[in-house]
Structure 1
Amino acid sequence: MTVSAHSHRGTQSARRVSQYIINMFVRPDRQRRGVGARLLLQCLEGARELGVSKLALNSTDEGRHLHESAGFRPTQNWMALAVPPNDSSDVEPKR
């Protein structure tokens, strides 16, 4: 898995720009086994390492519980999460 952050404002750090998780899928025969939680945790850890301050994603009905358990909250258009700083260990989705 690769997590990357790109600033849309030239040389500004990724910390100043919200980032978006585009796609995250788990095969149906692998669902409900913690695979999605591990993938999401990797995204959150990668975002923290890159200094991202906020993540957003679109959630399916099936994925909403996982995203909410990780701290994402619904907004008008998607779900968003304020990414804790690098010294925080509070990024693991709750089951």
Structure 2
Amino acid sequence: MLCGILFVLHTGIQWEFLPQELGFGSGMTCWRRLEEWNRAGVWQRLHEVLLAELHGAGKLDWSRAVIDSSHVRAARRGPKAVRARWIAPVRARSTTS
């Protein structure tokens, strides 16, 4: 299953087009296993273990690290949005009523 999941993620093919000849099982089974492992926290734990192993071996170069802001919680909210003021002197009549 893992090889099938990695194959689909690497190639970008659709799950249902995973070739049966490769021996990875069906694409839908691989997809279900990916979902189950994701819910169980397998990928997060694998990531943590790999980082620890690389760090212990001195193989991490943090000078090239990037923080993805979509995954980092903001400490505070930004400034409140100010409503745009009207620039026309009079509002136009509605044409829908």
In the superposition, the TM-score normalised over structure 1's length comes to: 0.22
User: Which protein is richer in helix relative to its size?
Assistant: 2
In the superposition, the TM-score normalised over structure 2's length comes to: 0.21
Rg larger for: 2
